[in-house]
Amino acid sequence: MTMKKLDSKVNIIPIIAKSDAISKSELTKFKIKITSELVSNGVQIYQFPTDDESVAEINGTMNAHLPFAVVGSTEELKIGNKMMRARQYPWGTVQVENEAHCDFVKLREMLLRVNMEDLREQTHSRHYELYRRCKLEEMGFKDTDPDSKPFSLQETYEAKRNEFLGELQKKEEEMRQMFVQRVKEKEAELKEAEKELHEKFDRLKKLHQDEKKKLEDKKKSLDDEVNAFKQRKSAAELLQSQGSQAGGSQTLKRDKEKKNFF
């Protein structure tokens, strides 16, 4: 299932790892079984190209070797007079770069020396173009019209572009109207607040005037009371003065009468 998902995205070259774990006869049967399962499940593996005469023969031979049986090793052992990557077992040595032991050299030759450019070309012209086509279809770009007739991608692009510009203009108009509406609402709020402030100012001004008038009336009333008090005081002082003078003249008269009497 994983290989089926990947075969439309990358070049698949099947290999058998740790191939030194089985015998030559078992390996041959295993290769046949794997190839049969890949075909029956519809998994598209990379086939070395045979249309180029210079590499047709070797690629045809290598296609028959698929999947490649490989052995890996991180150790280097001295075999003869050379240091070679190999795996040491009690019964012998498996050399990684010995074509009689595994297909590692064949795989390396096919990938790096013979078919590198074809692998790149396949990746670009097949897998990437398929990916790009799927992405364009997801975005609404198709090379056929609703009647399944050929349709220019440029025309599709222009149609999508015009549709996008129309939606953009529509959104811009909606945003402009929304902005204008919000400005109007804000202006109405500010005017209402200004009106409330003027009304409050008028109320405070009237209240101040009323308080001022009350104070002036009270002051006038107090001034009137003070003037009346002064007038009463002056009258009282005048009466007291007149009374004192009248009393003094009567005393003098009695004293005179007494003197005349004696």
CA pair distance 119, 20, nearest whole angstrom:
28
- In the chain the domains, ranked by start, together with CATH numbers, are 1-150 (3.40.50.300)
Asked if 24 and 116 count as a contact pair (C-beta separation under 8 A), the reply is: no
pLDDT, residue 244, reads 75
pLDDT tens, position by position, 169-187: 999 999 999 999 999 999 9
Asked if 75 and 67 count as a contact pair (C-beta separation under 8 A), the reply is: no
Per-residue pLDDT of the chain (262 residues; tens, 9 = 90+): 899 999 989 999 999 999 999 999 999 999 999 999 999 999 999 999 998 888 899 999 999 989 999 999 999 998 888 899 999 989 889 999 999 999 999 999 999 999 999 999 999 999 998 888 888 778 776 666 566 665 566 677 777 788 889 999 999 999 999 999 999 999 999 999 999 999 999 999 999 999 999 999 999 999 999 999 988 888 888 888 877 777 666 666 666 666 665 5
Residue type, 80: G
Q: What is the pTM of this model?
A: 0.53
CA pair distance 121, 142, nearest whole angstrom:
24
CA pair distance 146, 20, nearest whole angstrom:
57
CA pair distance 107, 176, nearest whole angstrom:
65
Write the CB contacts of 75 (distance below 8 Å, at least 6 apart in sequence): 85, 86, 87, 88
pLDDT, residue 157, reads 73
Write the CB contacts of 65 (distance below 8 Å, at least 6 apart in sequence): 103, 106
pLDDT, residue 248, reads 62
pLDDT, residue 117, reads 92
CA pair distance 10, 45, nearest whole angstrom:
9
